[in-house]
């Protein structure tokens, strides 16, 4: 059997099976491991974002870089830039329509208890422009959940950022970005 046949990846296999194969092949044929990562769709930055966001691989990687996150495809984990002491961080991304004048927003919660405190995550929101570019329109620390408010300011839904404790931050659209307006306590 030729080495190229040993490195061949069955596209119908699940990602987990492929990872196990890659690790096993790495023990036998180290060059196969690199070959696996070069062709795997699962390891791209864009795989971390919802498909409806329709982000290119380049834009997806730029967003991760902008929020200070390194993606290690060999470990299948995300890390804070250079801060491996805190271990892997979590990342969840949603695609929301918050105004009729935009192509949508990518809401990202990321972090862990070490990097983000009790809430376990920080928040950043990027607006997707009609030309495909993205720009940061909000950033907050210690946010565990985002709720869309029925209140509309300048054509954009206001947002409620939930975090630890009984008080929650209300963010409104102001001068082209979301800004803290006030807090409500329950």
CB 128 within 8 A of CB 114: no
Q: Where are the domains of the chain?
A: 3-42, 45-185
Determine the Cα–Cα distance for residues 144 and 154; give it in Å rounded to an integer: 26
> What pTM does this model have?
0.72
Helices (H) and strands (E) in the chain, counts: 5, 10
Identify which of 7-11, 85-89, 120-124 has the greatest average pLDDT: 120-124
Segment 91-98 mean pLDDT: 91
**What digits encode the pLDDT tens for the residues 65-86?**
888 888 877 666 788 776 667 7
Residues near 173 by Cβ (< 8 Å), separated by ≥ 6?
Answer: 99, 153, 154, 155, 156, 158
């Amino acid at each position: 059997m030729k080495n190229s046949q040993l490195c061949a990846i069955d596209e119908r296999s699940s990602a987990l099976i492929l990872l196990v194969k890659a690790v096993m092949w790495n023990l036998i044929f180290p060059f196969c491991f690199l070959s696996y990562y070069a062709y795997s769709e699962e390891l791209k930055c864009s795989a971390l974002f919802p498909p409806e966001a329709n982000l290119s691989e380049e834009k997806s990687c730029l967003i991760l870089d902008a929020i200070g996150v390194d993606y290690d495809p060999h470990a299948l984990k995300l890390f804070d830039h250079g801060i491996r002491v805190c271990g892997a961080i979590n990342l969840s991304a949603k695609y929301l329509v918050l105004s009729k004048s935009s192509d949508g927003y990518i809401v990202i919660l990321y972090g862990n208890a070490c990097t983000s405190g009790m809430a376990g995550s920080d928040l950043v929101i990027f607006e997707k422009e009609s030309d495909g570019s993205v720009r940061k329109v909000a950033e907050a620390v210690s946010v565990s959940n985002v709720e869309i408010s029925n209140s509309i300011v300048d054509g954009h839904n206001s947002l409620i950022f939930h975090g630890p404790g009984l008080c929650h931050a209300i963010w409104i659209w102001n001068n082209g970005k979301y800004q803290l307006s006030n807090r409500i306590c329950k």
